[in-house]
Amino acid sequence: SRFFAIVPAAGSGSRMGAKRPKQYLELAGRPMLWHALATLTRVSRIERVCVVLSPEDEWWEEFDWQPLAERLQVLRVGGSTRAGSVANALRVLAADLAAEDWVLVHDAARACLTEAQVDGLIEALADDPVGGLLAQPVADTLKRSGADGRVAATVSREAMWQAQTPQMFRLGLLREALQAKPGVTDEAGAVEALGLCPRLIAADATNFKLTYPQDLALAELILRARSE
């Protein structure tokens, strides 16, 4: 089989509270989006990395993507939700990919992804009948909130995982799943709705999603430490 990556980057990043979409905020001397694209384009088994931009994106052209260009495909087909952006990209890719080809969907906002994490995911799932995702076992005790910011219940953390990306599924299955269940917040959720059980591949906390302003400093530390 062949392997492809899709990076949805058509969000507005409203929780970051910045003037520009978060994927274009500066992080370790590059726009945030650069880091995940650079990592995925270095993975030898991934033939092509498709970045999904909003049709109204005004920021992409401001940066130099030439060093990554050889394995990058830019699709200005972003939708109003993450799942919509991914589904639109899959529709374009279906024109020249086979239904059995593997697609790894990765958040632009997980800038600290490493090649080793991606290699591990591909290695673990290349013969899997369903596919799966990187995820991290929950370390903290979990509380469900009730009224007035008070604890309503303690939830067992046993067998609980935080879903990360990349999430890796075959193109045909993923298209079918997202068509049937367009409201999901990750690809695995759509595949689960078909009655299938994606595999959880343990990853670590460095593959966190940059969501709030304070996340930028932590990601910068991680990226700079690695480049030393």
Based on the shown chain and the rule CB under 6 A, indicate whether residue 10 belongs to the binding site for ligand C5P. yes
Of positions 25, 37, 49, 52, contacts ligand C5P by CB under 6 A = 52
CA angle, residues 63, 69, 72, in degrees to nearest 5: 105
Write the interaction track for ligand C5P spanning residues 61-100; mark x where CB under 6 A is met and - where it is not.
-----------------xxxxx--x---------------
- Report whether 100 contacts 172 (CB < 8 A): yes
Residue-wise DSSP of 28-47: TTEEHHHHHHHHHHH-TTEE
Question: In this complex, which beta carbon is closest to ligand C5P, that of residue 11 or of residue 31?
Answer: 11
Based on the shown chain and the rule CB under 6 A, indicate whether residue 108 belongs to the binding site for ligand C5P. yes
Residue 90 Cβ vs ligand C5P, minimum distance, rounded to whole Å: 13
DSSP helix/strand/coil, 121: helix
Based on the shown chain and the rule CB under 6 A, indicate whether residue 166 belongs to the binding site for ligand C5P. no
Other beta carbons within 10 Å of 126 = 13
Distance CA 33, CA 56 (A): 17
Question: In this complex, which beta carbon is closest to ligand C5P, that of residue 81 or of residue 114?
Answer: 81
Q: Which residues bind ligand C5P (CB under 6 A)?
A: 8-11, 23, 52, 78-82, 85, 107-109, 209, 211
